[in-house]
Amino acid sequence: MTASAAVAAGYTLAAGPVRAEVITTDTTGLDVGTAKIKVADGEMPGYFARPKGVANPPVVIVAMEIFGLHEYIRDVTRRLAKLGAFAIAPDYYFRKGVDLTKITDMTQLIPLVNSKPDSELLTDLDATVAYTKANGGDTRRLGMIGFCRGGRNVWEYAAHSTELKAAVAFYGPPVDAPNPLWPKSPTQLAPEMKAPVLGLYGGADTGIPVAQVEALKAALAAAGKTAEFKIYPGAPHGFHADYRPSYRKEAAEDAWLQMQAWLKKYKVLS
């Protein structure tokens, strides 16, 4: 896929070249569209997909990477809708006033996303849950999945929400870089986890050492929290991101099955 084609298709270039063999999920049998989620200071945009004609579907929040609400995240949302969920991906970086999918320089992107306070993130996610409930979603069956920074946000929300039934973090960092806007890392929040979380990590992730994953696992076990982990040997960071060179088909497909099984185990998906 050429750079111009990738941009036209809605992919971000900030993460590097876009693979031609990206997964494309159609909208057959789905209602899809743009959400306008009421938050304290305005409306947060989002993308939703849900099975057409199905009353009270379970809800799954999709927490995106730092690259904005681009086509890969929208496609994941449609994949979840094909599984029967009212899936929604909130654009919780919307207040930055720029389209993150159009930023190609990581030195510009990182300061923008790192200026997002956790307190604001958590209320944005609460607002997303409220939006789905007001629009016919069954939030008694509330799940969440997230990728990269979104995976980190899964851990954060699992320590915050009393409504969340189960969540899956794809290579979410267990330890944060120093940032006064992020009071506690996922590992520090281990005693506060309120929902069972499945962590899916790459054994060759150069940004998340396996030792950090093992430390998070130990902290959760010490706190008596329900969590499981699977580490894919040889898989790099971003192994599920089918639009990026980091994609690893075998690990990605297994991780997707593990995610489904986890959400079914805790009655989010049926």
Catalytic residue chosen out of the listed positions 148, 160, 240, 242: 148
Query: Across residues 202-211, what is the average pLDDT?
Result: 98
Does this model's pTM top 0.85? yes
3-state secondary structure of 246: coil
Query: Across residues 8-21, what is the average pLDDT?
Result: 93
- pLDDT of 108 > 90? The answer is yes
Biggest CA-to-CA distance, the chain: 50
Both tokens assigned to 156: 């954060």
- H helices within 12-165, ranges in order? 71-82, 106-114, 118-134, 149-160
pLDDT of residue 61: 99
Query: Across residues 20-39, what is the average pLDDT?
Result: 97
237 is catalytic: yes
- pLDDT of 93 > 90? The answer is yes
Catalytic residue chosen out of the listed positions 75, 118, 176, 205: 205
Query: Across residues 35-42, what is the average pLDDT?
Result: 97
Catalytic residue chosen out of the listed positions 75, 118, 124, 237: 237
148 is catalytic: yes
pLDDT of residue 205: 98
Confidence of residue 1 (pLDDT cuts 50, 70, 90): confident
Phi-psi region of 136 (alpha: psi -120 to 50; beta: other; left: phi over 0): left
Query: Across residues 243-256, what is the average pLDDT?
Result: 98
Query: Across residues 57-79, what is the average pLDDT?
Result: 98
Mean residue pLDDT across the chain:
97
Q: Is the dihedral of CA 95, 72, 63, 231 positive or negative?
A: negative
